[in-house]
Amino acid sequence: MEKPQNGEEKEETTASFCGYDSLHRLLKDNLNPHHFQEVSRLLTGLNCGKALEAVSLPESATSLSAEHGFDIQAFSFCADKELLREPRIVRVGLIQNSIVLPTTAHFADQKKAIFEKLKPIIEAAGSSGVNVLCLQEAWMMPFAFCTREKRWCEFAEPVDGESTKFLQSFALKYNMVIVSPILERDINHGEVIWNTAVVIGNHGNIIGKHRKNHIPRVGDFNESTYYMEGNTGHPVFETAFGKIAINICYGRHHPLNWLAFGLNGAEIVFNPSATVGELSEPMWPIEARNAAIANSYFVASINRVGTETFPNQFTSGDGKPAHADFGHFYPAIGTAC
Ligand SMILES: NC(=O)NCCC(=O)O
């Protein structure tokens, strides 16, 4: 994840929680250790009776983080030890990033800059032994669906396109499954556009894809201008490290969506998102955890970070003045259960 603003800077305009990069950080900095532990116990629960444990990361990863200015954190979640089976340890990685160039830059340059930015972050995940890595929703472009302008469709790619090829080499190099949420262009069916997560196997193979099945028509999320409800059902993908599913962003508000992935056998459900604080931040800590508790699987949720502005004014159809700023994508930390 990119290095967030910290509490000392009190950057209320860009950070999510009164100048802190997370609620967790705000509480930790302001409560005494006992109160912090008790509040954490109530907010996030305990992990087999203990507070969440940080995992130490290899120097190869921390040096990349220092050199390229991104934040990297790792925690372990354990289940009760069984007597007859060895534990199956799976390392899950999540990447949240802002875009690099202004949205007015040439589209090819914007995409290339995102690729360049992600390279060391993916390397850090790979060298930390991550088994399954998930990127954020439509990671290869700005989240331009507020604008309703057609030209952003140019970012769309076939499932085996540029972004998949870029990630396949990392999957192979690090023996790592990668979930890659992209804007898809279905070149075999009239170039229909979808919001799709491509699942790349640990041998660099394409295991399959899932298309977002609940499309928001709320606030600035005018996504149905671009793509409609996906036609892939609720697939669960068998990977070398477990059975995974992807519930893309807005799908997290729909309990039956989570249930269907569970009934189909998912052990980990990823929730790559792009959402802003004003709309969904209060729901964020509840939805993924509730899904995990109710369906007996792990949930790994991520959002974008940063603020994206667009060259032309757009409206939400809510009677408010036109604007060019999508709002701040809040960092989502520690929502796996
Ligand atoms: N990308 C997307 O589905 N956003 C929806 C916003 C939300 O539900 O928080």
Per-residue pLDDT of 275-329, as tens digits, reads: 998 888 889 889 999 999 999 999 999 999 999 999 999 998 888 899 998 888 8
Give yes or no: residues 2 and 104 share one domain: no
Handedness of CA 40, 300, 337, 62 (dihedral sign): negative
| 264 domain residue, yes or no | yes
Length of the chain: 337
Count: domains in the chain: 2
Give yes or no: residues 155 and 13 share one domain: no
Give yes or no: residues 66 and 1 share one domain: no
Q: Does residue 114 contact residue 125 with C-beta atoms inside 8 Å?
A: no
Give yes or no: residues 145 and 93 share one domain: yes
| 174 domain residue, yes or no | yes
Give yes or no: residues 43 and 125 share one domain: no
Give yes or no: residues 15 and 127 share one domain: no
Specify the pLDDT at position 16.
60
Distance 211 CA to ligand 1 centre (A): 15
| 335 domain residue, yes or no | no
Highest mean pLDDT pick, 14-23, 29-38, 58-67: 58-67
Answer whether residue 337 shows pLDDT above 60. no
Q: For 247-284, write each residue's pLDDT tens digit.
A: 999 999 999 999 999 999 999 999 999 999 888 888 98
Give yes or no: residues 46 and 61 share one domain: no
| 4 domain residue, yes or no | yes
Distance 36 CA to ligand 1 centre (A): 31
Prediction pTM value: 0.93
Specify the pLDDT at position 13.
46
- What is the number of other CB atoms lying within 10 angstroms of the CB of residue 301? 27
Report d(CA 163, CA 324) in Å as an integer.
27
| 3 domain residue, yes or no | yes
Give yes or no: residues 108 and 235 share one domain: yes
Q: Which of 145, 194, 217, 218 to mutate to test the pocket of ligand 1 (most atoms within 8 A of CB)?
A: 218
List the residue whose alpha carbon is closest to atom 8 of ligand 1. Answer: 250
Answer whether residue 1 shows pLDDT above 60. no
What range defines the domain where residue 148 resides?
56-79+87-329
Give yes or no: residues 310 and 229 share one domain: yes
Answer whether residue 204 shows pLDDT above 80. yes
Whether this model's ipTM surpasses 0.95 comes out as: yes
Specify the pLDDT at position 285.
85
| 334 domain residue, yes or no | no
Specify the pLDDT at position 336.
53
Give yes or no: residues 65 and 35 share one domain: no
| 266 domain residue, yes or no | yes
User: 3-class DSSP state for residue 281?
Assistant: coil
Give the binding-site residues of ligand 1, using a 6 Å CB cut-off.
Answer: 137, 216, 221, 249-250, 253, 274-275, 279-280
| 336 domain residue, yes or no | no
Residue 264, domain CATH? 3.60.110.10
Q: How many helices (H) and strands (E) does the chain have?
A: 8, 15
Task: Read off the pLDDT of each residue in 133-158 and give the average, rounded to a whole number.
Answer: 97
Distance 274 CA to ligand 1 centre (A): 6
Specify the pLDDT at position 3.
44
Residues forming the active site: 137, 212, 249
